[in-house]
Structure 1
Amino acid sequence: MCRSFLFRCGFLFLVSLTGFLLGGLKHGRDMGNNVNRRALSDINNLTSDAPYPSAIFKRVLNDVAPINDKNDNSFVGRRPITRKFAASLAHKSQNCSLKPIGSERQKRSQPVQSTSSVGGCDSIDVDDFVSANDIPLPMVEEIEEMVDCELKEVEMEDLEAKLLMEIDSCDSNNPLAVVNYVNDIYSFYRETEELGCASPNYMSNQLDINERMRAILIDWLIEVHYKFELMEETLFLTVNLIDRFLARQRVVRKKLQLVGVTAMLLACKYEEVMVPVVEDLILISDRAYTREEVLQMESLMANTLQFNMSVPTPYVFLRRFLKAAMSDRRLELLSSYIIELSLIEYEMLKYSPSMLAAAAIYTAQCSLKGFKHWTRTSELCTKYSEDQLLECSRMMVDFHLQAGKGKLTGVHRKYSTYKFGCAANSTPALFLFDMKI
């Protein structure tokens, strides 16, 4: 009985020993085949430079950052951007961006040093790790300042729009004033006014006429315009047609008056309700031309200008800018006087129609008040500041001063009548010559 029990125990011991030896042999073969198998001493990170570091990289995001739960040390949420947190992130990003490139490369080439060890794994703190793709975040104060600036700009635009709307408040019930889109109309005029202007040096291409002859012609046409009691728009369009035609067509001296008469005929057909007949214009020119010559010149002028009679003249802008200046009768008459004096002068062609209108009103205001006067509403409506108008205004003051002294006195005599408020007797704003541009 004892022998069989011992025999059985020995047999089981031999079987177990054999299995143990065979398993060890197989385990050794597996270790030989796996060349990347690490030693037991490396598993617990006993060496200083572990080949498989399990560092936790916490990246700083643009809008949120991971936070650590105090209970289980796991990432459970995202930290919102507060003023203090955004400031710290921006400060650290700026400090990192100021570091030399060489030192940054050297830092990246060195092995990562663990700052703390949790559960056998190296961990890197957020404050010590900076990604190359991280972009510095703006300060919260800077964002608030930008928002405040944008709000101020919006408020200023609203205030300016309100000032421009008040100009047409008195005409809200007038359908002819087209209050709803009058600003769009004048914006279109400002965009296209240069297309309707003549070249300021076109006289250099004329062989038989000069600036003085042009001035004589326009001064005479102002008298004709006054005698026929035509509309103001007709006079300004007449001068525009003459300059645009002479800029494209050479004219001999004896035909210059014919050009002026024909231009007035075309302007009357475009602006007037009751158009003067051709015989009246021939009579006013002392029968220097025949009816056939007038009609031939009319055809030539219309084709040369490509039938483009709808152009913004200085009078178009003058009416609008006077409305923005809250003008009275005196200011209207004096502004018209000054701008008609400028029509005669060839050198004023270098200024745009809107500039002439704004400068005439500014000069008239200074003449009536005795000091410089240009309101914010006028500046918004005309889009010209005092400094921009000063050069043109000084030239107008000189014309005002010299009016009535030479041979061309048509405008001065016209505005010396009671019908035009004796505007020619006003005192020029000589103090504008003393102002600095």
Structure 2
Amino acid sequence: MVISDENNSVQIKPTNVQEMNGRKFGAEIRTNRRALTAINHNLRGPNNPYPCLVNKRDYPESNGICDNNLPLQSHRPITRKYAAQIAGSRHNFPEETKKPKTSSSTNEFSVWEDIPLTDSEKDHPVPMSLEHSDFEISDKNQMEEVEMEDIFEESVVDIDGCDAKDPLAVVEYVDDLFAYYKKMESSSCVSPEYMAQQSDINERMRAILIDWLIEVHHKFELREETLFLTVNIIDRFLAKQSVVRKKLQLVGLVAMLLACKYEEVSVPVVDDLVFISDKAYSRKEVLEMEKLMLNSLQFNMSVPTPYVFMRRFLKAAQSDRKLELLSFFLIELCLVEFEMLKYPPSYLAAVAIYTAQSTLYGVGQWSKTCEWHTGYSEDQLMECLALVVGFHGKAANGKLTGVHRKYNTSKFGYAAKCEPAHFLVQMHSL
């Protein structure tokens, strides 16, 4: 009799007499073979065709192992763990397991044949959890190889699958929608040289105006897209119409009024705009400027701004709240700077998110999914990276600190307190 322990297989020579459940066996087996044959014959049948079936619960000392060192089939199913026990017992006794099995007609102690396993289970049986066998080492190496392949063979994630049942997500044509935005974003851009045709205003005045409007937008608690459309309307109007210095603030207020009418549910009234301008303009002047701006822009308010791309790209980046706030902090800093008009809205959105990712989590965050949905590789974003990091570094200094004060509050998670990613500029300048 061979007993296979789970952790240490040891051969024990059979004794003349063994005691199982208070009954003595041994001599009776040797002297009364006929009786045992009859018992086996009675056990054989359609419900129990295997004579050597042993109930492990009735004979715990046997541990389910027969004389030929192969495990007996119990009522338990062939699980991966049990298959490993079978393989382990065969591994411990390689010479004996090569012996051919004898039928029940010649040997009363014939073995119940194992239930066939699948090909994968035959080739790679899983060892028991407490053993460190060759099988376990092999499986562990295979798992490490699979994990390494997953790292190097990154695939594009389906970011819209979770919104399949949301009709507002328009999953059926969201890709076509953003492809159209990318195609039409050039129509929302203005020439970065348009300020040359303005005789009484300059780039610095525009920056002061937008920095002030960001604070007004925050005070009125308007929607995020309203701010981006306001800045877009200002630039498109100034690119077509010459404005004197004293009317520049009026242009900004009316641009915000038009953006609110397009985006907001509750629109600020004209008297509110007159009040926040310290009554520098009358109600009549506001309405006259509104007509002039609408005619100049040919009533075209539907343009892709950086906001629409920000939302899509943040979803592709699988962002959390912290990344989202820092990304919007950086993109609003870009709104103030006139030199950023030379970049398309989608590019600015991608750069802001990439810079925010690197600032919070280090380099190497730009995934294949981000590259697929933005259309920009990591190398393409390097052109604008130094500018964005520079804006972040000087956001708290100087006179134009409206964006920094806004994002230095608990409502915006103190995103402005994050340290600028100067290491990115140094790394890519090498």
1:301 aligns to what?
293
> 1:266 deviation in Å?
0.2
Q: Distance in 1 between the 2:424 and 2:236 partners?
A: 32
Q: Distance in 1 between the 2:426 and 2:400 partners?
A: 28
Q: Distance in 2 between the 1:396 and 1:436 partners?
A: 14
Q: Distance in 2 between the 1:210 and 1:435 partners?
A: 35
Q: Distance in 1 between the 2:172 and 2:262 partners?
A: 26
Is 1:426 the equivalent of 2:418?
yes
Q: Distance in 2 between the 1:305 and 1:393 partners?
A: 32
1:384 aligns to what?
376
Is 1:263 the equivalent of 2:247?
no
2:221 aligns to what?
229
Q: Distance in 1 between the 2:425 and 2:340 partners?
A: 18
Q: TM-score, normalised by structure 2?
A: 0.63
Q: Distance in 2 between the 1:435 and 1:203 partners?
A: 34
Alignment of 1:195-344 (within 5 A): 195-344=187-336
> 1:250 deviation in Å?
0.3
Q: Any idea what the Cα deviations from partners look like across 1:236-289, whole Å, max 9, x if unmatched?
A: 000000000000000000000000000000000000000000000110110000
Is 1:361 the equivalent of 2:358?
no
Query: 3-state SS of the aligned residue for 2:156?
Result: helix
> 1:320 deviation in Å?
0.1
Give the greater-gyration-radius structure (CA): 1
Q: Distance in 2 between the 1:313 and 1:435 partners?
A: 31
Q: Distance in 1 between the 2:389 and 2:202 partners?
A: 24
What amino acid does structure 1 have at the position aligned with 2:326? L
Query: 3-state SS of the aligned residue for 1:413?
Result: helix
Q: Any idea what the Cα deviations from partners look like across 1:284-326, whole Å, max 9, x if unmatched?
A: 1100000110000000000000000000000100000000000
Q: Is the 8 A contact 2:322 2:415 kept in 1?
A: yes
Query: 3-state SS of the aligned residue for 2:366?
Result: coil
Q: Is the 8 A contact 2:385 2:425 kept in 1?
A: no
What amino acid does structure 2 have at the position aligned with 1:242? I
> 1:369 deviation in Å?
1.1
1:417 aligns to what?
409
Q: Distance in 2 between the 1:306 and 1:372 partners?
A: 44
RMSD over aligned Cα, in angstroms?
1.3
1:193 aligns to what?
185
Q: Distance in 2 between the 1:436 and 1:423 partners?
A: 24
> 1:390 deviation in Å?
0.9
Q: Distance in 2 between the 1:292 and 1:187 partners?
A: 41
Is 1:163 the equivalent of 2:152?
no
Q: Distance in 1 between the 2:287 and 2:269 partners?
A: 12
Q: Distance in 2 between the 1:416 and 1:207 partners?
A: 36
What amino acid does structure 1 have at the position aligned with 2:156? L
1:53 aligns to what?
none
Consecutive unaligned residues of structure 2, counting only runs of 5 or more, are: 1-152
Q: Distance in 2 between the 1:200 and 1:230 partners?
A: 28
1:374 aligns to what?
366
Q: Is the 8 A contact 2:260 2:268 kept in 1?
A: yes
1:129 aligns to what?
none
> 1:372 deviation in Å?
4.0
What amino acid does structure 1 have at the position aligned with 2:373? C
What amino acid does structure 2 have at the position aligned with 1:421? G
Q: Any idea what the Cα deviations from partners look like across 1:117-175, whole Å, max 9, x if unmatched?
A: xxxxxxxxxxxxxxxxxxxxxxxxxxxxxxxxxxxxxxxxxx99x835x1011211110
Is 1:184 the equivalent of 2:176?
yes
Q: Is the 8 A contact 2:195 2:239 kept in 1?
A: yes
Consecutive unaligned residues of structure 1, counting only runs of 5 or more, are: 1-158
Give percent identity, aligned residues only. 68
Q: Distance in 1 between the 2:273 and 2:332 partners?
A: 22
Q: TM-score, normalised by structure 1?
A: 0.62
